[in-house]
Structure 1
């Protein structure tokens, strides 16, 4: 289950940020941007996160996942569309296959709430 390795990476990044923040207290919540195409099951990630946080600075912290829809842009005609699941990777306008994914693969810490105050986003890819 790769969700456990993701949870552990998030915890590691937040603990590293806490070590660099002199007045960082306990972590109340972590918000992750999770792309539709990232291959992550949010419920499994939340379960793993709760288990992995035990005994850490993040114990009891809430994991909030923010879904990011998959979107693509056709290089020849510049049309942009929601790719959906399973992803449609040919342009619905010109049927071209020269496309660029513009969103949907994100797996990023958007922000962390420490104690009663929010700190600046860590903004790191997991």
Structure 2
């Protein structure tokens, strides 16, 4: 019985170790991003980090700048919109919370962020039409 308990404890330890290693792994890291939640004051020079998660948890987006630190679970993000007024702007859309507007220093960084949301994490873009729907006739 003691050997069986030891094996069970060892497997649990290995599972926790693998989970911690995956959670520490950064998928993408962006710097000098402008962050604005809802109508609040925007925060400049924010570091945005996307970390992967284990199923059913998709992962987390972390925001850091000086005293400010926040995070969003990717399962909370309903969709995103990358067709803002500014071409380097991306909007994370939530169902129950205020939306988050991110303005990246370059369009390339915004496209990398959107590609990560779309491909790696399975989120959809609200501004692109669904391929199953017919396009409106002008």
Query: Greater RCO between the two (CA within 8 Å, min separation 6)?
Result: 1
TM-score normalised by structure 2 residue count: 0.24
Looking at CA atoms only, which structure, 1 or 2, has the larger radius of gyration? 2
Normalising by structure 1, we get a TM-score of: 0.26
Structure (1 or 2) with the greater strand fraction: 2
